[in-house]
Structures are given as C-alpha cells and as structure tokens.
C-alpha cells in the first residue's frame, strides 16, 4: 500500500487554509513561540533599563538589535527551538536557551543569567497567550466580523422599505420589512462587539505561586508588585495581582463565551437566510463556472450558509469546552490548561471560516420583491390583528358596541384563506367610526408594516 506523505489533519490547515491563514501568525505554535521570545526579551529590557538585580542599561544599539531579532522570529528560530526542545523536553526552557544564545551572539553573554530570571514558565506563557489572543481577535477575527456586520447593515438599508411576510411559529404573521429583519441581526451583533471590545486581557508576572518569593529573596527592597504591574501593562495587557502559579483564565472564559454567543447569533442568521432562500425570498446569484449540484444542473445550493452553520457549531464546541475547562486549576497549578489552550486557534479558526462563508454568501444573494409581494397578497388574513385592535379602540372611545372583536376576527380568519374582497366586505359592515373604517379599508398586507422601516434608524444610536 502506498503511504501518503505527511498531510494536514485539520481542514483548517488544508482545504480551508486560505480563509484562516491570518490566525496562524498568532495562534500557531510558531506564533506562540514568537510571543514567548518577545516577552523574554522585553523582561530583559525592563530589568536592564531599571538596573534591577545588578543589571546595567543596554546601549540603544544593543537593545534595538535584540528587539529586531525578536521581531524577526522566523524559520531559523523555529528550527533551533525544535532541536532544543527535543533535548530539554520543555518548550519554555527551549525559549530561554534560544534567547541566551542570541545574547551570546550579540556579545551580551554577561546578561545570560537574567534570561527568565524570577519567572515560572506560566509567567511567560500567560502573557504570550494574552498577547496572541488579543492580536488574533483585534487583527483577524473582529475585522472579519465587522465586515459581515457592515454588509448586513448595507442590505438592511437597501431593503429598508421592502415589505415582507413575517413568520411566527412558521405561520404567516404581521408583516415587516426585509431590511428591518436584517437590522435585528446588526443590532444583536453590535452589542456583542461592544462587549468583546471591553474584555480585559489579564496577565500575571509574580513567580512560581504568585507570591514574588524568589523576587524578594533576590532583592527585598524592590517593589516587585509595582514592577510586575508596570511590566505587564507595558505589554498592553491588564495586570492581575492575585493569582496562583497561573493567571486564572477568567478573561479567556469571558472572551470565548462572547465569541460563542456571537457565533450563535450568526448561526441564527445563517438558518434564517437559508430558509428565506428556500421559499424564494432571496435569489442566489450563480457563480460563474460553479456547480450547484453534481446531478441536478438547475440547482444553486446555499452552501455558504450551510458551511457557516457547521463551522459555527464546531467553533462553539471548542470554545465552550475551553471556557469550561480553563477556569479550573487544581490547587496552585495543574497542566490541564496547557493542552487546552493549544486549541484556541482551532476554535477561533472555525469561527473565522464560518464568518468568511457568511460574508461570501451574503454577497451572492439578491431579494426577490415579486415573490415577497405575491406572498403578502396571498395572506390578507394577517390584517385581522389590525382590524380587531382598531375595533377595541373604537369601543373604548364609545364609537362602537361590538362585543369581543377578537372572537369576531378569529371566526372570520382563523384557519382560512381570505382575500381582499372578504376583508373589505367585513370592514364595511363594522359599527365603527368613519375615519377608522377608511383607515382600515386603505390597509393592505404590504402596507401593514408599522414603523419597521424607521426602526432601522436605531442602528445609528
């Protein structure tokens, strides 16, 4: 049997790589290691610039060269780390040796013992994960989400006044506009964006069990809590003063919960759009050269929304698991989180892939106003709500003595298809004021949309 050469196991690294490749800069093993090197180098820079633990400041040229090396982390460093880790069997220790080696190459070997000083591996890891997740969200996931929201908002405005039959419980209900229904999703998603943008990316930097014990042993006069805070905040993170060996990961659980909630809103959007396509409210725009069905040439399948559904579900399976797992650590530390966090990129990757499909799907549909109009014209019974409500107001105002208007309209409309002529005849026979009667006679399913079009303006608040 022929053995295949090594192949990517995850479709995110194979079939769908192009859609998610931006995440690899941050949430891959290499992305994590680049962040680890960055944290180690910045800690060295902090120690030397503040003359801590016997260090003296680096020259501007030496510091610039060290930071340039860190920023240029690439294949050479990846290969060296792999070789070192094979020997150390410890990923962060391999990072320490990599930095030590660079110091010696730059003629800064006298600073080698400051590498990783006063640090536990988790001091480096928690900051590195916070930095990589922060950047993955802000530079990849959130821009993709905002693109989806922008397209939805554009279509909400485009279809602001296009009347559409509502469906509650799958049955014809009070009409709305297509634009207003899309605007509902824009509003929901914007709320999630606002909450995600407020998430704190917490970091700890306080030693083996979060007590600064080694720090104080080395220099009992330094204000290590203040130093830790300044260093963590200098990286662009929020400082967590009270931790065990690990940062407690609550911010991660909060973030992944919010991303998962956003996924669920978009999953709802995908199923709604799919359903609208199925009843003809939206036409799909054929893609040149694409095959809709392998055997039925007339079909254009709504695959973008189906793909999105599947990937939102996969994303949430991982993100929900991470949110549940990461908030628990036995006593002062266990390694459950270490294995779990290596899948952050997978969870966000499936979400990015789903977002990409939603965005592409939205760009391949167009409303079918004639179908929407025909559906409205076939359901005049939905005006029963308006008629019975007007009668109630007329009774209250003393202009009618009709008893139980709801029952009267139920007898007329429930379980029956009635047309315009039936409703006109019914309204003309009502004992109500003339102004109210004329208002009802002027109504059609297409005009009975309330303030749906104007409600879209609330997106600007």
Q: How do the domains of the chain map onto residue ranges?
A: 24-119, 137-288+299-372, 380-444
Q: How far is CA 383 from CA 34, 164, 426, in A?
A: 64, 14, 12
Distance CA 375, CA 164 (A): 8
Note the pLDDT of residue 287. 65
Label the pairing between strands 282-284 and 238-239: unpaired
Tokens representing 178 are: 């297509």
Which residues are identified as catalytic? 169, 293
CB atoms within 10 A of CB 95: 29
Distance CA 168, CA 202 (A): 43
The helix-helix angle for 344-362 and 250-278 (nearest 10°) equals 30
Distance CA 179, CA 158 (A): 7
Note the pLDDT of residue 188. 98
For domain 24-119, the CATH architecture is: Orthogonal Bundle (1.10)
Tokens representing 293 are: 């069905």
Is-contact 58 50, C-beta < 8 A? Answer: no
Note the pLDDT of residue 288. 62
Residue 165: which of 368, 375, 365 has the closest Cα? 375
Phi, psi of 203 (to 5 degrees): -140, 145
For domain 380-444, the CATH architecture is: Orthogonal Bundle (1.10)
CB atoms within 10 A of CB 386: 18
Per-residue pLDDT of the chain (461 residues; tens, 9 = 90+): 778 888 888 999 999 999 999 999 999 999 999 999 999 999 999 999 999 999 999 999 999 999 999 999 999 999 999 999 999 999 999 999 999 999 999 999 999 999 999 999 999 999 999 999 999 999 999 999 999 999 999 999 999 999 999 999 999 999 999 999 999 999 999 999 999 999 999 999 999 999 999 999 999 999 999 999 999 999 999 999 999 999 999 999 999 999 999 999 999 999 999 999 999 999 998 766 555 555 555 557 899 999 999 999 999 999 999 999 999 999 999 999 999 999 999 999 999 999 999 999 999 999 999 999 999 999 999 999 999 999 999 999 999 999 988 888 788 877 777 899 999 999 999 999 999 999 999 999 999 999 999 999 999 98
Distance CA 351, CA 337 (A): 21
Label the pairing between strands 202-203 and 238-239: parallel
Domain 137-288+299-372 has CATH 1.20.200.10: yes
- Buried-exposed string 224-251: b where 16+ CB fall within 10 A, e elsewhere: beebbbebbeebebebbeebbbbbbbeb
Distance CA 442, CA 274 (A): 34
CA dihedral 239, 243, 247, 250 (to 10 degrees): -90
> Do 24-119 and 137-288+299-372 agree at the fold level?
no
What ranges in 235-332 are assigned the alpha helix state H? 250-278, 303-325
Residue 265: which of 326, 195, 335 has the closest Cα? 195
pTM of the model: 0.94
What ranges in 169-242 are assigned the alpha helix state H? 178-197, 213-218, 224-234
Instruction: With residue 395 as reference, give the H or E element that holds it.
Output: helix 384-396
Distance CA 178, CA 184 (A): 10
Is-contact 133 45, C-beta < 8 A? Answer: no
């Amino acid at each position: 049997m022929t053995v295949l050469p090594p192949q990517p196991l995850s479709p995110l690294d194979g079939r769908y790589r192009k859609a998610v490749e931006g995440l690899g800069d941050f949430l891959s093993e290499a992305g994590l290691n680049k962040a680890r090197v960055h944290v180690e180098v910045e800690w060295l820079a902090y120690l030397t610039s503040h003359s801590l633990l016997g260090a003296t400041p680096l020259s501007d040229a030496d510091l610039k060269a060290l930071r340039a090396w860190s920023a240029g982390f690439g294949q050479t460093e990846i290969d060296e780390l792999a070789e070192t880790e094979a020997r150390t069997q410890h990923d962060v220790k391999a990072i320490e040796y990599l930095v030590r080696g660079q110091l010696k190459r730059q003629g800064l070997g006298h600073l080698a013992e400051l590498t990783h000083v006063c640090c536990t591996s988790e001091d480096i890891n928690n900051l590195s994960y916070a930095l990589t997740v922060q950047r993955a969200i802000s530079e990849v996931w959130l821009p993709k989400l905002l693109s989806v929201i922008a397209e939805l908002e554009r279509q909400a405005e485009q279809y602001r006044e296009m009347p559409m039959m509502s469906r509650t419980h799958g049955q014809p209900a009070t009409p709305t506009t297509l634009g207003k229904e899309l605007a509902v999703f824009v509003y929901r998603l914007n709320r999630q964006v606002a909450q995600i943008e407020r998430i704190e990316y917490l970091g700890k930097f306080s030693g083996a069990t979060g007590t600064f014990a080694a720090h104080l042993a080395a220099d009992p006069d330094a204000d290590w809590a203040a130093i830790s805070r300044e260093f963590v905040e200098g990286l662009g993170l929020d400082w967590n003063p009270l931790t065990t060996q690990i940062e407690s990961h609550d911010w991660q659980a909060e973030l992944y919960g919010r991303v998962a909630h956003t996924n669920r809103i978009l999953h709802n959007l995908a199923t709604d759009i799919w359903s609208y396509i199925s009843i003809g409210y939206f036409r799909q725009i054929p893609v040149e050269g694409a095959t809709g069905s392998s055997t039925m040439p007339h079909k254009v399948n709504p695959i973008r929304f189906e793909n999105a559904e599947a990937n939102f579900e996969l994303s949430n399976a991982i993100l929900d698991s991470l949110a549940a797992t990461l908030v628990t650590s036995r006593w002062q530390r266990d390694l459950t989180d270490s294995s779990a966090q290596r899948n952050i990129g997978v969870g966000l990757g499936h979400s990015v892939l789903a977002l990409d499909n939603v965005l592409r799907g939205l760009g391949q549909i167009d409303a079918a106003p004639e179908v929407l109009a025909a559906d409205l014209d076939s359901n005049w019974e939905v005006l029963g709500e308006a008629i019975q409500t007007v009668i109630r107001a007329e009774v209250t105002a003393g202009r009618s003595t009709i008893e139980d208007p709801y029952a009267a309209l139920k007898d007329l409309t429930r379980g029956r298809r009635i047309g315009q002529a039936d409703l006109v005849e019914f309204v003309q026979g009502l004992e109500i004021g003339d102004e109210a009667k004329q208002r009802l006679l002027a109504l059609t399913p297409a005009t009975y949309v309330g303030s749906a079009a104007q409600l879209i303006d609330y997106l600007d608040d």
